[in-house]
Amino acid sequence: MTRDVTVYRLRSVTLAFQGLAGGLLLVFIALINLDMGAFKTGFIFLPVAIVYLWPVRASYTWSLICIFLLGIFYDFASNGPLGLWTLCYLALFIVLGGGARTTIRFPAAFLWFLLSMSFVCCLAMLLGRFALGQWPNGLEIAKSMLTTAVVFPLIFWIRRTSLIIFGGIEDPKVAI
Amino acid sequence: MSDKGFSRPQARRNTRRNVAIFLVLITSVMFLADRQQTSFLASGRYSADNVAMQFLGFLASPIRGVGSIGRQYFERSRAHQDNKRLKDEVARLRKYENQVLDLEMRVNRFEEILGMDNSADIPIERIVARAVSETNGPFVHTALINAGINKGVRSGHAVMSVDGLYGHVVRAGRTSSRILLLNDLSSRISVMSQRSQSRAILVGNNSTRPKLDYISADADWRIGDRVVTSGDGGVLPRGLPIGHVDIVDEKNPNVKLFTQGKPVDWVWVLPYKPTPPPQGEGELDPETLVENEAENEVAQP
C-alpha cells in the first residue's frame, strides 16, 4: 500500500516536470519571430497552451513550482519585465485549478483556450502598463493571439495522440 | 489526523495554498524589483540568453523557412515595380557620382592642409554575427545574436544590418548578446538630420516607427530627411544611417527605419570605443599632460 502511494506520488511529480519540459519547448517556439513580409508576428501566447493542457494527474504543488520556473525562464529569455509572464501563468493555473480534462472535446477545449488566452492577455496588458509606463501595443497582441489560436489545434492533437499512445486517457472513444 | 489537528486532505490543501501564495508573492517582489533596477538577476538573463541561443539556432530555421515563403511571394509580386524604381534611382544618382568624388577629394585635401584627423569615426573592424531570434512583441523589441564576449562584443556596441543601424548591445554574454532594437520602448539614440544637422533623440515607442523627441524650437526637420547617428554623448559613432523622416506632426516627427520590414539575418557589430569621461582634476596634472603630449609628438616620425 505504502509502495503504491510512493509510486503514485513519484508519477505525479514526474508529470509536473513533463509539463515543464513541454512548456520549455513552447517557450523556445514563442521566442521565434514569424516574418512573412507584410505580416510580422510571433507566438508569444503559445506557453498558455501548456498551462491550459497541463498534465491532469500532475502534483498540484509541483505543478505550481514548474509553472513558476517556466514563467521565469520565459521572462529571462524574452527580455521582458521580470515576473510578468510568471504572474500571468501562475494566476491562470490557480484560476483553472489544474490542467484540462483528458476527455475534453476539441471545440470545448478551443473555447476554453481562447478564454484562457484572453485572461492572460488582460493580465499581461495591466502588468505591462505598470512595468513599462504605457499600454503595450494592442495590435501586436491581437496578431500574436490570432497566430497562437491557429497553432492550438496542432498542440491539442499532439497531446491527444500522446495520451492515446501512452495510455493516459480514460476512454479514447469518448473524446475524438 | 495530522499532528496539527488537520485531516490529511485538509493539510494537503493548506500546503498547496501556502505554496501558491508564496510563489505569487515572490514573483510580485521580483516584478517590482525589476521595475526599479534593470540589472536585477542579470546572471539569470545571461544564462537564459545562452541556452535560448543554442536551441533557437535549430528551431529558427524551419520557421524562418515558412516565413520566407510568404516574403518571397510578396517580393516577387512587386519585383517589376522595384526594378523600375531602382533604374530611375540609378539614373538620378549617376549625375551625382562625379560630384561626390570631387567633393571627397577636396575635403580630404582641406583636412590634410589643416592637419585634421581625417580617419573615419566609424570603426573599420566588424564582428559578423547571426541574428538567431528577434522578439517583436508588445512589450519588448530585442534580438539575440550568436556572438558574445568570446568574439569581442561588449555592451554598448552598435549593431548594423545591410540596411542601416539595427540596435545596440545591451547585454553581452559569453557566446551570445542581446540587442535592443531602435523601436523598443527603452531605446534612446542621439540622432541628427543629414541635411540640416538638426539634433534630436530617437525615442522607441514599441511601434514600427520611433519618434524624434527633444527637438529644439529652431530645429529644421522635413519629410524625407535622412536620419543618422549624431555621435553626441560619444556612445555611438557618428553617421550611422538609421532611416528617414516620414510623418511630421506638430510635435514629434516619426522615423521610418531602414531596417523596418526587412528580414534581418546577418548583422555586424561595430566595436566602437566610447569616448571616456574626463578624469577628476586631482588625478591629472595639466602641466604633466602637456609635457607628455610634447614628448609623444617628438617620438612620432
Confidence (pLDDT) at A92: 93
B20/A36 touch (CB, cutoff 8 Å), yes or no? no
- Residue A176 inside a domain? The answer is no
Cell of A166: 501512452
pLDDT range class, residue B117, cuts 50, 70, 90:
low
A83/B31 touch (CB, cutoff 8 Å), yes or no? yes
CA B244 to chain centroid: 17
- Would you mind telling me the total number of residues written for chain A in this entry? 176
Over 70: is that where the pLDDT of B193 sits? yes
Q: How many domains does chain A have?
A: 1
CATH of the domain at A30: 1.10.1760
Q: Flag the least confident range among B22-31, B143-152, B183-192, B231-240.
A: B231-240
Identify all chain A residues contacting B33, using CB atoms and an 8 Å cutoff. Answer: 82
Nearest CA in chain B to A94: B20
Distance from CA of A60 to the nearest CA of B (A): 7
For residue A157, what are the domain limits? 2-166
Sequence spans of domains, chain B: 1-40, 43-114, 127-270
From CA A175, how far away is CA A86, in angstroms rounded? 31
Confidence (pLDDT) at B135: 75
Inter-chain Cβ pairs, chain A and chain B, closer than 8 A: 152
Percent residues over pLDDT 70 in chain A: 91
Over 80: is that where the pLDDT of B25 sits? yes
A44 contacts: CB under 8 Å, gap ≥ 6: A30, A78, A144, A148, B137, B138
Confidence (pLDDT) at A121: 93
Over 50: is that where the pLDDT of B201 sits? yes
pLDDT range class, residue B214, cuts 50, 70, 90:
confident
From CA B146, how far away is CA B160, in angstroms rounded? 14
Over 60: is that where the pLDDT of B272 sits? yes
- A38 and chain B: CB distance < 8 Å anywhere? yes
State mean pLDDT over B216-221. 82
State mean pLDDT over B213-242. 85
- Residue A174 inside a domain? The answer is no
Identify all chain B residues contacting A77, using CB atoms and an 8 Å cutoff. Answer: 48-49, 51-52
For A69-123, write each residue's pLDDT tens digit.
Answer: 999 999 888 888 888 999 999 999 999 887 777 778 889 999 999 999 999 999 9
Distance from CA of B78 to the nearest CA of A (A): 12
Distance from CA of A151 to the nearest CA of B (A): 13
Q: Are A30 and A47 in contact (CB under 8 A)?
A: yes
- Would you mind telling me the total number of residues written for chain B in this entry? 301
Over 70: is that where the pLDDT of B118 sits? no
Substitution target from A5, A79, A134 for chain B, most B beta carbons within 10 A: A79
Confidence (pLDDT) at B300: 47
Substitution target from A86, A88, A137 for chain B, most B beta carbons within 10 A: A137
For A17-66, write each residue's pLDDT tens digit.
Answer: 988 999 999 988 888 877 666 667 788 899 999 999 988 888 889 999 99
What's the CATH superfamily of B127-270? Rod shape-determining protein MreC, domain 1 (2.40.10.340)
| Dihedral sign of CA atoms B165, B170, B175, B176 in order | negative
- Residue A60 inside a domain? The answer is yes
Identify all chain B residues contacting A36, using CB atoms and an 8 Å cutoff. Answer: 66-67, 69-71, 74
Q: Are B93 and A56 in contact (CB under 8 A)?
A: no
pLDDT range class, residue B285, cuts 50, 70, 90:
low
For B26-48, write each residue's pLDDT tens digit.
Answer: 999 888 887 666 555 677 777 77
- A6 and chain B: CB distance < 8 Å anywhere? no
Confidence (pLDDT) at A78: 84
pLDDT range class, residue B216, cuts 50, 70, 90:
confident
For A123-164, write each residue's pLDDT tens digit.
Answer: 999 998 888 888 888 888 888 899 999 999 999 998 888 888
A61/B19 touch (CB, cutoff 8 Å), yes or no? yes
Confidence (pLDDT) at B299: 47
Average pLDDT value over all residues in chain B? 79
Cell of B123: 570603426
Cell of B214: 527633444
Structure ipTM: 0.83
Distance from CA of B290 to the nearest CA of A (A): 47
B284 versus B190: the higher-pLDDT residue is B190
For B124-139, write each residue's pLDDT tens digit.
Answer: 788 888 888 777 777 8
Cβ atoms within 10 Å of B262's Cβ, excluding its own: 16
For B74-91, write each residue's pLDDT tens digit.
Answer: 777 788 888 999 999 998
From CA B200, how far away is CA B215, in angstroms rounded? 5
With H, G, I as helix, E, B as strand and everything else as coil, classify residue A16: helix
Q: Are A88 and A124 in contact (CB under 8 A)?
A: yes
- Residue A16 inside a domain? The answer is yes
Identify the helix (H) or strand (E) that includes residue B83: helix B79-114
Helix crossing, A106-132 with A84-96: angle to 10°?
140
- Residue A173 inside a domain? The answer is no
Confidence (pLDDT) at A69: 93
Distance from CA of A82 to the nearest CA of B (A): 5
pLDDT range class, residue A176, cuts 50, 70, 90:
very low
For B226-239, write each residue's pLDDT tens digit.
Answer: 899 988 877 888 88
